Chain A
Amino acid sequence: DAGVTQSPTHLIKTRGQHVTLRCSPISGHKSVSWYQQVLGQGPQFIFQYYEKEERGRGNFPDRFSARQFPNYSSELNVNALLLGDSALYLCASSTRDRDEKLFFGSGTQLSVL
């Protein structure tokens, strides 16, 4: 079975641009979470979605938004990119909304110049 897949793997943007990152969860998993990992730090929670509804939001500005589709895949959108948005963006899936076991994809490395 395929694991969590994320696209693209790498992305280079300039300040002020917009970016969309995509995630497909493990088959049968209905919950998707997004994390930001800055180099040398642990992942930081951005959003959790379950059954297309937002179940949790971390301490990120409104420039960050996400959605989940009927097939449980998800998109993370970031508007008005800042240099500080440069990071590895990780998607994790789990079987249900209160299942703490997270299965991570390999991430999208975003560089903002």
Chain B
Amino acid sequence: GENVEQHPSTLSVQEGDSAVIKCTYSDSASNYFPWYKQELGKGPQLIIDIRSNVGEKKDQRIAVTLNKTAKHFSLHITETQPEDSAVYFCAATLSWGFKTIFGAGTRLFVKA
């Protein structure tokens, strides 16, 4: 069935370092891969996304890469700041669009 695996579950970095979160999806029909950031007491917020016809996308300090052959995609955050501390979820949406499958989340700690 549909599944998204996410690693690591916890990540601690020093302010200014880079952080990388990796995900693997199972359903080859997935064609949209969003990343969400969830802060305490709030719902997930979309921070960046990538479609299956694109290999890489960047938005300021955040970048995503997609390897559709290997069914891997990753989130890269450069020059991390304390306000980047949150739980990050990768997700995959099937081509018919109504259902998004989320990974289990990565809790990122950025130490000042």
**Contact flags A60-93 to B (C-beta < 8 A → 1, else 0):** 0000000000000000000000000000001010
B105 touches A42 (CB 8 A): yes
Secondary structure class of chain B's binding surface, majority of residues:
strand
Secondary structure class of chain A's binding surface, majority of residues:
loop
**Contact flags B1-29 to A (C-beta < 8 A → 1, else 0):** 00010100000000000000000000000
A90: contacting residue among B4, B41, B44, B91, CB under 8 A: B44
Alpha-carbon distance between A48 and B98 when the two chains are bound, in angstroms:
7
Residue tally, chain A, CB below 8 Å to B: 26
B32: contacting residue among A35, A40, A48, A100, CB under 8 A: A100
Residue tally, chain B, CB below 8 Å to A: 25
Alpha-carbon distance between A43 and B96 when the two chains are bound, in angstroms:
19
A104 touches B93 (CB 8 A): no
- CB-CB < 8 A to B103: which residues of A? 42
B61 contacts partner chain A, Cβ-Cβ < 8 Å: no
- Which B residues fall within an 8 A CB radius of A? 4, 6, 32, 34, 36, 41-46, 49, 89, 91, 93, 96-105
- Which A residues fall within an 8 A CB radius of B? 4, 33, 35, 40-45, 48, 55-56, 58, 90, 92, 97-107
